Amino acid sequence: MSGQRCAVVGIGQTKYASVRDDVSIAGLLREAAVRALEDAEMVWSDIDAVVIGKAPDMFEGVVMPEAYLADALGAAGKPMIRVHTAGSVGGSTALVAASLVQGGIHDKVLTVAFEKQSESDAMWALSRPIPFAPPTLAGAGGYFAPHIRSYIRRSGAPADIGIKVAVKDRLNALKNPYAHLHMEDISFSKVEESMMLWDPIRYLETCPSSDGACAMVLAAEPIGDAAASRGARPPAWLHATAMRSEPTMFAARDAVNPRAGQDCAADLYRQAGITNPRSEIDMAEIYVPFSWYEAMWMENLGFAPLGEGWKMVEEGATALDGDMPINCSGGVLSSNPIGASGMIRFAESALQVRGMAGEHQVPDCRLAMGHAYGGGSQYFAMWLVGAAKPG
Partner 1 sequence: MREVAVVSFAQSVPARRADEFNEVELLMPVVHQAVADSGIPKGEIGFTISGSCDYLAGIPFAFVSGLDAVGAWPPITESHVEMDGAWALYEAWVRLQHGDIDSALVYSFGKSSLGPLTDVLSQQLDPYYLAPLWLDSVSVAALQARAWLDAGHSEEEMAEVVSASRRAARSNPNTQLAGDPDLKELLAQPYLVDPLRRHDCPPIGDGAAAVVLAVGDLARSVSERPAWITGIDHRIEPHSLGARDLASSASTREAARRAGVGRGPVDVAEVHAPFSHQVPIVAEALGLDGGVEVNPSGGALAANVVMAAGLVRIGEAAARISGGSATRAVAHATAGPALQQNLVCVLEGDKR
- What is the closest distance, in whole angstroms, from the C-beta atom of residue 69 to partner 1 in the complex? 8
| CA atoms within 13 Å, Cβ hemisphere of 206 | 22
- What is the closest distance, in whole angstroms, from the C-beta atom of residue 150 to partner 1 in the complex? 20
Of 383, 357, 391, which Cα lies nearest the Cα of 240?
383
Kindly tell me which of 186 and 343 has the beta carbon lying closer to partner 1: 343
Applying CB under 8 A, the residues found at the interface with partner 1 are 2-3, 24-25, 55-58, 60-71, 75-86, 92, 95-96, 99-100, 102-105, 125-126, 128-132, 242-248, 250, 252-253, 258-260, 263-264, 375-376, 378-379
- What is the closest distance, in whole angstroms, from the C-beta atom of residue 97 to partner 1 in the complex? 11
User: How many Å apart are CA 14 and CA 17, to the nearest integer?
Assistant: 9
Kindly tell me which of 84 and 182 has the beta carbon lying closer to partner 1: 84
What string of DSSP letters covers 207-262?
----EEEEEEEEEEHHHHHHHHHH-SS--EEEEEEEEEE--S--TT--SSS-HHHH
Q: Which helix (H) or strand (E) holds 197?
A: strand 196-198
What string of DSSP letters covers 284-331?
EE---SBTTHHHHHHHHTTSS-TT-HHHHHHHTTTSTTSSS-B-TT--
User: How many Å apart are CA 269 and CA 182, to the nearest integer?
Assistant: 34
Kindly tell me which of 146 and 247 has the beta carbon lying closer to partner 1: 247
DSSP 183: -
User: How many Å apart are CA 222 and CA 149, to the nearest integer?
Assistant: 49
Cβ neighbours, 10 Å, residue 232:
7
Contact 200, 152 (CB under 8 A): yes
Kindly tell me which of 75 and 351 has the beta carbon lying closer to partner 1: 75
Kindly tell me which of 89 and 357 has the beta carbon lying closer to partner 1: 89
- What is the closest distance, in whole angstroms, from the C-beta atom of residue 85 to partner 1 in the complex? 5
Kindly tell me which of 232 and 252 has the beta carbon lying closer to partner 1: 252
What string of DSSP letters covers 6-61?
EEEEEEEEPPPBS--TTS-HHHHHHHHHHHHHHHHT--GGG--EEEEE-S-GGGTT
- What is the closest distance, in whole angstroms, from the C-beta atom of residue 315 to partner 1 in the complex? 31
Kindly tell me which of 128 and 153 has the beta carbon lying closer to partner 1: 128
User: How many Å apart are CA 337 and CA 279, to the nearest integer?
Assistant: 31
Kindly tell me which of 22 and 199 has the beta carbon lying closer to partner 1: 22
Kindly tell me which of 89 and 179 has the beta carbon lying closer to partner 1: 89
- What is the closest distance, in whole angstroms, from the C-beta atom of residue 388 to partner 1 in the complex? 21
- What is the closest distance, in whole angstroms, from the C-beta atom of residue 337 to partner 1 in the complex? 15
- What is the closest distance, in whole angstroms, from the C-beta atom of residue 301 to partner 1 in the complex? 15
- What is the closest distance, in whole angstroms, from the C-beta atom of residue 94 to partner 1 in the complex? 12
Sign of the Cα torsion 53, 59, 61, 63 reads: positive
Strand 49-53 relative to strand 80-83, pairing: parallel
Distinct helix (H) and strand (E) counts, the chain = 13, 11
- What is the closest distance, in whole angstroms, from the C-beta atom of residue 290 to partner 1 in the complex? 18
Kindly tell me which of 99 and 336 has the beta carbon lying closer to partner 1: 99
HEC secondary structure over 126-141: CCCCCCCCCCCCCHHH
